Amino acid sequence: MTKRTALVTGASGLVGGYLLKYLLDQGGWDIVAASRRKPDIPGNYRHIAVDLLDPADCKSKLGSLKDVSHIFFVAYIERSDPRDLVTANLGMLVNLVETIEAVSPVLEHVHLSEGTKWYGNHLGPFKTPAKEDDPRHMPPNFYYDQQDFLEQRQKGKRWGWSAVRPHAVCGFSTGGPMNLTLAIAVYAAISKELGLPLSFPGKPGAYSALYQCTDAALLAKGITWMATEPKAANQAFNITNGDIFRWQNLWPKFADFFGMALAPSRYISLGRTMADKGPVWDCIVARHGLQPHSYQEIVAWGYPENVFASDYDIVSDMGKARRLGFHDSVDSKEMFLRMFTEFRRNRIIP
């Protein structure tokens, strides 16, 4: 196979980190990782520290990358105002594509990471199972602006684009704000430390609603598949584990894993309730000799609070990717227990 050159943005984050590892393991890729922080991932790749929000920085740091065949845009920046969210996230993509397109005559593909928010799952109940060509919700939604930009920009070009729509990406990482597996494990550890049984902290309806997740390793494979499979060009794909579950069926397994009694579900605002539990976490870290991750660094509680507030089904249809040849799937219960074990083995949780 001819060697391809991947430019991976967001490699210091959850999704991009797994993608970087996957491409390194696969071989056959020259890899450049672009983010402000250096990814904590060993291997044979080049890291360029760049601020994608700054067009001049993009041009000066990335403007010599004339061999890039595949751009993987997996960067994301949080903004509380929805309009600012669009401006910032669209701006990073535009700066990157304009820079690379101008210098790399071998550009083949631009991949964009989206999510189930495309379907408006963050706004309330939506049509399920969600299909890739379902009607859009009332904007703003920064994914719409990003994908519209790519579609327009690609017209008449030799390169193609793809976009992935995962949900609740789960992986082994610390320091990313959107890490559901670690949030559940830290919530359990703090409950146990306080002598409490394990209760589901979400809305009553969320305990029984259908839910889905995406294993970050599966996602990395799916992204690479759609960026290199000609039949998948110029389209978006849902990528989830391929099973759906109800928290009420998983929570007893989690209680078993953490050696805790199961209590009835009890809705709390994790953001407010967990805000003062830093000292409890510090005690746990000290007594169990855990890695010294600060409480602020380990979980941003607003994320699991939002996840557990979804008291309606969250289900994406996986048929489109399957029909075009991506058949991988993951058992979500097995995934959670495997990741809890990995966090424990690495002394992140007790």
Interaction site with ligand NAP (CB under 6 A): 9-16, 35-37, 50-53, 74-77, 92, 113, 115, 166-169, 176, 178
Q: Which is closer to ligand NAP, CB of 111 or CB of 167? A: 167
- Output the smallest distance, CB 240 to ligand NAP, in A: 10
Tell me whether residue 143 is one of the annotated catalytic residues.
Answer: yes
- Residue 268 DSSP SS3: coil
Q: Nearest-CB residue to ligand NAP?
A: 13
- Output the smallest distance, CB 238 to ligand NAP, in A: 11
| C-alpha torsion sign, points 43, 45, 50, 52 | negative
Find the catalytic residue in 76, 143, 207, 211.
143
- Output the smallest distance, CB 281 to ligand NAP, in A: 21
Q: Which is closer to ligand NAP, CB of 10 or CB of 201? A: 10
Q: Which is closer to ligand NAP, CB of 191 or CB of 212? A: 212
Q: Which is closer to ligand NAP, CB of 130 or CB of 255? A: 130
Q: Which is closer to ligand NAP, CB of 199 or CB of 240? A: 240
What is the distance between the terminal CA atoms of the chain, rounded to a whole angstrom? Answer: 45
Residue 29 structure tokens: 């890729």
Residue 23 structure tokens: 């491409």
Q: Residue 195's CB: how many other CB atoms inside 10 A?
A: 6
- Output the smallest distance, CB 168 to ligand NAP, in A: 5
233 vs 293: CA distance, rounded Å:
41
Q: Where are the alpha helices (DSSP H) in 125-259?
A: 142-154, 180-193, 204-208, 216-228, 247-257
- Output the smallest distance, CB 183 to ligand NAP, in A: 11
Burial 321-347 (b: 16+ CB within 10 A, else e): beeeebebebebeebbbebbeebbeee
Q: Which is closer to ligand NAP, CB of 76 or CB of 200? A: 76
- Output the smallest distance, CB 68 to ligand NAP, in A: 16
* Among candidate residues 316, 134, 143, the one with its CA nearest the CA of residue 243: 316
- Residue 163 DSSP SS3: strand
| C-alpha torsion sign, points 49, 54, 59, 63 | positive
Residue 25 burial (10 A CB sphere; 0-12, 13-18, 19+): exposed
For residue 316, give the DSSP letter. B
Just list the catalytic residues: 143
